[in-house]
A = this chain, B = another copy of it.
Amino acid sequence: MAAMIELIQDGSVTSARGFSAGATYAGLKTQENGVLDLGILASDVPANLAATFSTNKILSPSVVLSRERATRGTARGVVANSGCANCCVGEQGLTDAKELTELAASHVGVDAQDMLVCSTGMIGVELPMALLRQNVSNIRPTADGGHDFAKSIMTTDTRQKEIAVSVEIDGKMVTLGGAAKGVGMIHPNMATMLAFVTTDADVEQKFLQSALGKAVDSSFNMCSVDGDQSTNDTVLVFANGQAGGPVIEAGSTAAQAFQEALAYVCVSLAKDMVRDGEGAQKLIDVTVDGAQTLADARKAAREIASSSLVKAMVHGNDPNWGRIMMALGKSGAAMNESKIDIFVNDIQIVHDGVAIPYHNDVVVSAMAGSPEVRFRVSLNIGDATATGWGCDLTEEYVTFNSAYST
């Protein structure tokens, strides 16, 4: 039985009980009305922690430090800054990351070892520590500070990305809240995603990490804006148990419900990120079903959703299915060309690997009339299904990433 997941109106990363957050403007980003660039998210009590980090071989020292601290499986919070990635700055990067956690931990009264750090922004520039030292104490973490925290991690995001849901687990209502930033740049020097999820459920740490791994595989790892992978990507989940109720452990129906709710939150944040991709005007939703294995379905869905030619054709509202076949074939997934069916927004255009008669105008206007274009590719050789997300490739993406001078 699927868990009953309910969306919380105006929810945020502090919707779950026992979490507070706040943010301030510390001078890292260009000053504009209401801009925030330094935030703290904290749990009232020690929270179980699960985390995933970028696999890029060039890593921000902020990631290196957080990754090391995350191995303890428990934490009190995270300090996050936008405007500077604290990456490719030599040994100073680790010194600064440590000091920033010390400043934040001391401000909220926890141990620095329990404070993680995330940085996003320009690569190759040191953190302006004087500004951070001066401004960290302006942050006033409160139980309704989630929205400010979500704003403080934005770079070129045009809107904040937040969600909270409630779900009944073992008779207890628990809450999960999330905030993320997408792939955009104030100084176009990096592509970075950060996501923070909080829950007041009491989740055993090993199960929490495994649940996060699964949720990330079907959400953040299935979306692509431009194929470039950041040096700073981080996803953190804090579970502080403040909802009460028994500990959620692997193998139970409670675990299943929690897994579903966590995946729901991650997928929602991932889709928000893609919708707000640089220059993006449309979300591309690609489902590959009938694959032999889940790995094949994922590879194929990702390859289609991230192909430059598929992305450009979506921008032009053109059901140019040869490009879908090209991207599918390139993915390396097992397939039998003569069994492939393709649907665009539920209209079938390919059957058994060849075009079937369809009204082109109908498909073009279905694509043009919707902010979301759905492709379904049925391989018809197995039972595995996966969905991936991308955005259209627009002239604005190119202009945004080229037409300026540092």
User: Is B318 a contact partner of A398 (Cβ separation < 8 A)?
Assistant: no
User: Is B57 a contact partner of A312 (Cβ separation < 8 A)?
Assistant: no
A322 within 8 A of partner (CB): yes
User: Is B402 a contact partner of A325 (Cβ separation < 8 A)?
Assistant: no
CB distance from A352 to the nearest CB of B (A): 8
User: Is A87 a contact partner of B57 (Cβ separation < 8 A)?
Assistant: no
User: Is B399 a contact partner of A329 (Cβ separation < 8 A)?
Assistant: no
Among B319, B326, B360, the residue within 8 A (CB) of A231 is: B326
Q: Chain A 369-406, CB within 8 Å of chain B: the 1/0 string?
A: 00000000000000000000000111101110111111
Q: A322-B122, A325-B58 known; A308 and B406 CB under 8 Å?
A: no
Q: Pick from A15-23, A133-141, A239-247, A330-338 the stretch touching chain B.
A: A330-338
CB distance from A27 to the nearest CB of B (A): 21
Among B188, B314, B350, the residue within 8 A (CB) of A309 is: B188
A228 to B327, CA, bound (A): 7
Give chain B residues whose Cβ lies under 8 Å from the Cβ of A308: 226-228, 308, 397, 401
Give chain B residues whose Cβ lies under 8 Å from the Cβ of A331: 57
A123 to B309, CA, bound (A): 13
CB distance from A346 to the nearest CB of B (A): 20
Q: Chain A 304-319, CB within 8 Å of chain B: the 1/0 string?
A: 0001110011111111
User: Is A124 a contact partner of B321 (Cβ separation < 8 A)?
Assistant: yes
A216 within 8 A of partner (CB): no
A52 within 8 A of partner (CB): no
Write the chain B residue with the least CB distance to A183.
Answer: B309
User: Is B402 a contact partner of A313 (Cβ separation < 8 A)?
Assistant: yes
CB distance from A173 to the nearest CB of B (A): 41
A250 within 8 A of partner (CB): no
User: Is B397 a contact partner of A398 (Cβ separation < 8 A)?
Assistant: yes
The A interface is mostly helix, strand or loop, or mixed, namely loop
Complex copy number for this chain = 2
A85 to B320, CA, bound (A): 14
User: Is A58 a contact partner of B329 (Cβ separation < 8 A)?
Assistant: yes
User: Is B394 a contact partner of A322 (Cβ separation < 8 A)?
Assistant: no
A108 within 8 A of partner (CB): no
Write the chain B residue with the least CB distance to A322.
Answer: B123
A329 to B165, CA, bound (A): 36
User: Is B318 a contact partner of A406 (Cβ separation < 8 A)?
Assistant: yes
User: Is A354 a contact partner of B316 (Cβ separation < 8 A)?
Assistant: no
* A122, A330, A335: residue with the most chain B Cβ atoms closer than 10 Å: A330
Within 8 A of B (CB), among A336-376: 337-338, 350, 352-355, 360, 364
CB distance from A321 to the nearest CB of B (A): 6
Q: Chain A 31-57, CB within 8 Å of chain B: the 1/0 string?
A: 000000000000000000000000011
Give chain B residues whose Cβ lies under 8 Å from the Cβ of A322: 85, 87-88, 122-124, 189-190
Give chain B residues whose Cβ lies under 8 Å from the Cβ of A189: 320, 322-323
User: Is A58 a contact partner of B337 (Cβ separation < 8 A)?
Assistant: yes
The 7 closest A-B pairs by CB, nearest first: A123-B322, A58-B329, A316-B402, A312-B401, A56-B329, A315-B402, A189-B322
- Give the interface of A toward B (CB within 8 A): 56-59, 85, 87-90, 122-124, 188-191, 226-231, 307-309, 312-323, 325-333, 335, 337-338, 350, 352-355, 360, 364, 392-395, 397-399, 401-406
30 CB < 8 A contacts A-B: A57-B328, A57-B331, A58-B326, A58-B328, A59-B329, A88-B322, A88-B325, A90-B352, A90-B354, A123-B322, A124-B325, A124-B355, A191-B309, A191-B326, A231-B329, A309-B401, A312-B402, A313-B401, A313-B402, A314-B402, A315-B398, A316-B402, A316-B403, A316-B404, A316-B405, A317-B405, A318-B402, A320-B406, A393-B398, A394-B402
